[in-house]
Structure 1
Amino acid sequence: MNLTVSHLDKLRLPLLHKLYKANYPSGKPKGKEDIIALENNKIIIGAVRIKTYEDCHFLTGMMIIEEMRGKQLGNYLINETKKLLSLNHCYCLCDPQLTAFYLKNNFTLAKESIPHVITSKYERYTHGGKKLDILVYKKHNN
């Protein structure tokens, strides 16, 4: 495989919409988000969307196309994405079934000092009874 991870050119957003529709229908990429694409030989096989707020990033909508799942590409994408983060904290909300994946990739369960923008998203998404965990990745500056 010839894998690359980079910021998606906004001109390719319509292609990404099709991929999300086929592989992660509830995920809807928007032009205002920072989109990180995982490509194999210049063909998009995965993506993650990042919203940047004043003091943190919010990771959402991570997707690997169905035929490429089970090859550890999600781990690769998340770890390459972390290198592109400009702020020290990156939060995500995930189904509890995915929590182990994020913990394995150096996220921790967020327990304190969660920014209001993240808690408000959490409350909005869980208002109807949906279960989600809040996780955080803390960038270590060496």
Structure 2
Amino acid sequence: MTAIAYAQLEAPLWPLMNKFYRAHQSSMKASKDAQLWVAREQEIVAALCLRSAANGYWLTGLFVAPDVRGRGIARSLVDAAVSSTEGAPVWLFCDPELQGFYEGIGFGMADDLPQVLFERLIRYQRNKAMIAMGITR
């Protein structure tokens, strides 16, 4: 088993992140206005986007390849990305069923969302159950 590396993806390699999402039939997409973070063994095995939002960041697109789930890769990738924010708050939206997972890595319910994210959350909640969570380190 190869060691997993967690790092921000360099701009010339951004297409690899969308290739990863497509290979797993994920509807997620890399956002060019975000920091793109990946976990790699040799190939990408997990990815997420970290976008500037108000006075912090918005974490989106967290996906781990099904064949490597349960190894703590999501936790380590989120930790690497959040650690890069130098203490700025990080928010995310998730299905309520994932609340326990995110609480396990330090997130809590977000009661103080920036207006731009609050409005987006309200729009998302029209179509599916979503909650907002946040962390500051």
Q: Same fold (TM over 0.5)?
A: yes
Q: Deviations over 1:2-24 (max 9, x none)?
A: 12111101211222111111225
In structure 2, the residue matched to 1:115 is 114
Structure 1 segment 1-142 matched on structure 2, within 5 A: 1-23=2-24, 25-41=26-42, 43-111=43-111, 113-128=112-127, 130-139=128-137
Superposed CA offset, 1:9-43 (max 9, x none): 121122211111122522111222111111114x2
Indicate conservation of the 8 Å contact 2:9/2:38, yes or no: yes
Contact 2:51/2:59, CA 8 A, preserved across alignment: yes
SS of 1:86's equivalent in the other structure is: coil
Root mean square deviation of aligned Cα: 1.5
The one-letter amino acid paired with 2:38 is A
Which consecutive unaligned segments of at least 5 residues does structure 2 have? none
Count of aligned pairs: 136
Q: 2:16, 2:133 → 1: CA distance? A: 29
Give the superposition deviation at 1:53. 2.1
CA distance in 1, matches of 2:136, 2:78: 13
- AA aligned to 1:135 is M
Amino acid at match of 1:127: R
Measure, in 2, the Cα distance between the counterparts of 1:52 and 1:74.
20
Q: Give the secondary structure class of the aligned counterpart of 2:135.
A: strand
TM-score with structure 2 length normalisation? 0.91
Aligned partner of residue 26 in structure 1, secondary structure: coil
Q: Is the 8 A contact 1:57 1:90 kept in 2?
A: yes
CA contact (8 A) 2:14 2:36 kept: no
Identity %: 21
Gaps of 5+ in 1: none
Helix, strand or coil for the counterpart of 1:21? helix
Q: Distance in 2 between matches of 1:75 and 1:32?
A: 23
Compute the displacement of 1:76 (Å): 1.4
Q: After the TM superposition, list the runs of 4 or more consecutive aligned residues in structure 1 that deviate by more than 6 angstroms.
A: none
Report the TM-score when normalising by structure 1: 0.88
